Structure 1
Amino acid sequence: AALRPTVMGAAPRIFEKAHARVEGMVAEQGLLTKKMFDWAIRVGSSVSEARQAGRRPSLASSLAYKVADRLVLKTIRQRFGGRLRFFVSAAAALDRDVARWFDAVGIVVLEGYGLTETAAASFINRPDAYRFGTVGWPFPATEVRIADDGEILLRGPGLMTAYHDLPDATAEALDADGWFHTGDVGEIDTDGFLRITDRKKDMFKTSQGKYVAPSAIDAKFKGMCPYVSELLVYGEGKPYCVALVSLDGEAIADWAAKNNMADKPFPEIARDERTRELIAGYIDALNLELNRWEQIKKFAIADRELSVESGDLTPSLKLRRKAVIEKYADRLSALYEQ
């Protein structure tokens, strides 16, 4: 690595891509290397779990970890400069399996949470107290309350006083008691860690009356499938969920080159039946981990990668659901007509 940071922050997509890149490179080096790598990750995970539980690893685990670290884990850390104390992830949900993988390697990813209205960060996991799938504990002097509908409410000195020249918007966001309505839905566990479910406006109800949190499904899928950059789950008022898949341009190009499609442009790769079969396998694996009403029954593959430049993503790489749904309305509707 040209840079050797000690602390680094990024959006979840950066960590997902790094995880997928390392896993892909290992897979190309043969079965023996893959088996050794997987063993090292399992050993690292075992030590990570013991550390989080506040207990010392067994003698056997400690010895195995020394070997795994020397042969595999240290090499991965070196790819990130070799000096990292921890990563910080924010702006969207990070798949907890990706977070576990990094922790097994020896680099903890600390998820945090905040908004512009709260002077950026309001919650953060600590290096000595973190829990995967949560955004940690509140900052000092930050109060938190969960409303009856699950919305996260915040109060404290870090809050804005108002939106400039927008009294109606201010009244909607800040109630009479000084609580800021974040627009996010979440829950606090027994140890005080906050878990974000989704944006309140992004959650939807199927025609069966079941609520679906699309961002959580998207994060889980991107942690499983290295060839996808976004998964837009759709199903408001519908009998089942469908999805629009955005392929990761770099990853799918590498895969295509190994499958006799190196000369094909992106749209043709996206339409190729082999690509569809590839993604379908990952969708099937995803569905095994979802509730029945959350499962993706049908999907379409976008003929271009969703991007910031096209207005599909925010600068912090969050999916603009409404904009993308409008652009692909015909293709999404067609999935219910097939």
Structure 2
Amino acid sequence: MELSMENFIKTPIQMLSHWVETQGDQVYLRQPIEGKFKNLTWREVQQQVHKIAGALRHLGLAPGDKVALLSKNCAEWFIADLALMQGGYISVPIYPTANTETIRYVLEHSGAKAIFVGKLDHWSEQEEAIGGDLLRLAMPYETMPSQYQWDQLLNLGSPLVEAPTTKPDDVMTLIYTSGSTGKPKGVIQTFASYGWTCEAVVRDLRTNTQDSLLSYLPLAHITERVAVEGSSFLSGSTVSFVESLDTFVADVKRAKPTVFFSVPRLWTLFHLNIINKIGASRLKLLLRIPIVSSIVKHKIQKELGLEHCRLLGSGSAPIPASLIQWYHNLGMDICEAWGMTENCAYSIINYPFDANKIGSVGRPVEGCLVRRGNDGELLLKTPGLMTGYYLQEEATKAAFDDDSYFRTGDICEIDADGCISITGRVKDNFKTSKGKYVAPVPIERKLAQDSHIELICVIGSGLPHPVALVQLSEGASLQAREEVRTSIKATLDAVNPHLESHEHVDAVVVVKEPWTIENDVLTPTLKIKRHVLEKAFSEKVDGVRGAQVRWEDEL
């Protein structure tokens, strides 16, 4: 599994040079500004990379220094990232939605010397987390006050054309986990681990210069950094960005992506919007009529801006099998993939799409070894694995077994065909007051089939039985309460008989306040922080029995 210099994949900087030589005047990055694309060719991107890298040298930053990136996705994010590689610096991406506590922790823990700041919705609140001794470098958007603006950086010092020699085991980036179970950990990824994974993505998904990618999931997250940014370096694909949340659908339509990756939350929102517009029973009826069916399918894909897609993907959190089946019935095959920050986000995928394996995350990719631990934990080994957690020796040691397999923390089943199903998280399983262990994820997946439910979290540590907390979909929250209650109650009554007696859900509680990143219930990658909800609701829901459906204000 070791990578030697002979088979070392080319670095992003080497690939940038390759594309400049072979298609230098072709458009690489497309940044929407006030509804119109500002296009940058491969050559223009490389010129800016050299200039920004030269400016960093001029400002006294030395190879090996850590430099943070705090911005929503944009062309300058890619350019800054490449400039850091060009200069031999180590990048430290931070989620653009991160709160002051997280930003301060990551900057201090990583020892960052400078920070690129760019497109941010709440920069005035985040600014206090960035100490005065840290060099601020502003991308060309409205952002927090900085010592240097992008245009100044492009004219500061001499362009750094000769990049330092990169070795496979050189650290490329520190990627901090989203902190769903506590303080974020700094995952060390090298040029070898990142390069191998990007090459595996391009090899398997066959992306090339004809493909159009869309970058909108946070680049601070390893999935976007590999599947979109990294694969574009190796495949020569064009990358478009999104201007804002308000222009999202228009931006998708304008970008005409051929490959589109998303997270379960967005696939759920798309689904709920379609159901609210057409109606579930009416849509079922239309899909049964042969000629009408194909027109409806095409219209829906066009409305989403995905009619040009040859590949759809979902990752970062579990997606209900019923949702993938629903899209499959619409002629949209979503390939579920599995990965973590620690393995560069790519190890297992249901691609080519196999409808018989809906509910699994597919098979391990070439070069990835998996096994099932004694407690059902998924263990894996791949050249994309991290070197370790930055400045956390004990945590690094605990993350691997004696055979150097990484302990993922996910509980799995592996079928006769080698397809893997994730059935829960080791840390998510809780013990009820009766001393029985419950795995919440399979229960959540069953209940989530009710289209009134947008988000769900089953809690129950120390309670007699599990309780499901749900956030209603936008459409459901406008419906009559009793209508929604009847539907969710019917779903609950259909699910409970198929669970072990100690797993029976005592109640479904509809929460009042939406779950967001801002109120710390969701991570930046839209995963639910179970421990936060347990703390807020355990006492409140204790005593609600008899498989009831209650609103929070009825407790």
Task: Using structure 1 for the length normalisation, give the TM-score.
Answer: 0.78
How far residue 273 of structure 1 moved from its aligned partner, in angstroms, is 6.1
The answer as to 2:362 corresponding to 1:136 is yes
Would the aligned equivalents of 1:206 and 1:212 in 2 still touch at CA under 8 Å? yes
Aligned equivalent of 2:284, options 38, 46, 51: 38
The change in CA–CA distance for 1:296 and 1:196 in structure 2 (over 3 A counts) is: same
Any idea what SS the aligned residue of 1:296 has?
coil
Alignment match, 1:307 = 516
Listed as ranges, the matches of 1:166-181 within 5 Å are 166-181=392-407
| Paired residues of 2:276 and 2:475 also in contact (CA < 8 A) | no
Alpha-carbon distance, 1:73 to partner: 2.2
Q: Contact (CA 8 Å) 1:244, 1:332: kept in 2 or not?
A: no
Q: CA deviation at 1:137?
A: 1.2
Note the C-alpha offset of 1:315. Answer: 1.1
1:121-154 deviation per Cα after TM superposition (whole angstroms, max 9, x unaligned): 1111113546211111112211101001000111
Provide the secondary structure at the position in 1 that maps to 2:520. coil
Structure 2 partner of 1:246: 471
Q: In structure 2, the residue corresponding to 1:110 is in which secondary structure?
A: strand
Alignment partners' CA distance in 2, 1:230 and 1:128: 26
Work out the CA distance in 1 between the residues paired with 2:264 and 2:434.
32
Q: 2:271 aligns with which of 5, 19, 43?
A: 19
**Highest CA radius of gyration, 1 or 2?**
2
Change (3 A) 1:316 1:179: same
When residues 320 and 10 of structure 1 are mapped into structure 2, their CA distance, relative to the original with a 3 A threshold, is same
Alignment length (residue pairs): 293
Contact 1:86 1:109 (C-alpha < 8 Å) held by counterparts: yes
Equivalent residue for 1:76? 300
Tell me the percent identity: 33
Q: Which moved more, 1:1-10 or 1:307-316?
A: 1-10
Closer, same or farther: CA 73–289 of 1 in aligned 2, 3 Å: farther
1:9 aligns with 2:265: no
Work out whether residues 348 and 363 of structure 2, in 8 Å CA contact, stay in contact via their aligned partners in 1.
Answer: yes
Contact 1:85 1:108 (8 Å CA) reproduced: no
Counterpart residue number, 1:49: none
CA contact (8 A) 1:11 1:90 kept: yes
Specify the code of the residue in structure 2 equivalent to 1:330: E
Aligned 1:251-270 pairs, distance under 5 A: 251-255=475-479, 259=480
Q: Aligned-pair distance for 1:221?
A: 2.3
CA contact (8 A) 1:218 1:230 kept: no
CA contact (8 A) 2:335 2:353 kept: no
Q: Deviations over 1:98-123 (max 9, x none)?
A: 10111111110110011111011111
Distance in 2 between residues matched to 1:240 and 1:159, nearest whole Å: 38
Provide the residue aligned with 1:59 in structure 2. Answer: none
3-state DSSP class of the match of 1:121? coil
Secondary structure (helix, strand or coil) at the match of 2:408 reads: strand
Which deviations, in whole Å up to 9, do the C-alpha atoms of 1:311-336 show, x marking residues without a partner?
Answer: 00111111100111112232132436
Match of 1:182 among 401, 404, 408: 408
Q: 1:86 to 1:287 in 2, by over 3 A?
A: farther
Secondary structure of the 2:338 match is strand
- Give the whole-Å Cα distance in 2 for the aligned partners of 1:324 and 1:238: 14
- CA change 1:128–1:14 in 2 (3 A) is closer
Q: Deviations over 1:183-207 (max 9, x none)?
A: 1100111111110011111012445
User: Counterparts of 1:310-329 in structure 2 under 5 Å?
Assistant: 310-329=519-538
2:56 aligned partner: none
Aligned match of 1:269:
none
1:240–1:295: 8 Å Cα contact kept in structure 2?
Answer: yes
Change (3 A) 1:274 1:170: same
Letter in 2 for 1:89: S
Q: 1:112 & 1:125 partners in 2: Cα distance?
A: 6
CA-CA distance at 1:299 after TM superposition:
3.0
Deviation at 1:168, TM superposition (A): 0.6
For 1:197 and 1:129, the matched residues in 2 are separated by: 19
Runs of 4+ in structure 1 deviating by more than 6 angstroms, as ranges, are none
Mapping of residues 194-213 of structure 1, within 5 Å: 194-206=420-432, 210-213=436-439
Alignment check: 8 A CA contact 2:515 2:521 kept: yes
SS in structure 1 of the partner of residue 346 of structure 2:
strand
What root-mean-square deviation, in Å, do the aligned CA atoms of Structure 1 and Structure 2 show? 2.6
The one-letter amino acid of 2:454's match is: S
Which string of whole-angstrom CA distances, capped at 9 and with x for unpartnered residues, describes residues 189-231 of structure 1? 11111100111110124456654321222233223233x2322
Q: In the alignment, is residue 219 of structure 1 matched against residue 428 of structure 2?
A: no
Q: How many Å separate the matches in 2 of 1:328 and 1:102?
A: 34
Q: Which residue of 2 aligns with 1:191?
A: 417
User: What is aligned with 1:298?
Assistant: 507
Shift of 1:237: 4.8
**Aligned position for 1:267:** none
Q: How far apart are the structure 1 equivalents of 2:304 and 2:441?
A: 28
Q: Hey, what does 1:126 align to over in structure 2?
A: 351
Unaligned runs of 5+ in 1: 29-33, 44-63, 260-271
Question: Shift of the alpha carbon at 1:163?
Answer: 0.8
Residue in structure 2 matched with residue 263 of structure 1 by the alignment = none
* Distance in 2 of aligned mates of 1:21 and 1:286: 25
C-alpha separation in 2, matches of 1:161 and 1:237: 37
Asked if structure 2 preserves the Cα contact closer than 8 Å seen for 1:174 and 1:181, the reply is yes
Q: In 2, Cα distance between the equivalents of 1:219 and 1:7?
A: 26
Task: Assess if the C-alpha contact under 8 Å between 1:85 and 1:107 holds in 2.
Answer: no
Q: Is contact 1:247-1:304 (8 Å) kept?
A: no
Corresponding residue for 2:319? 94
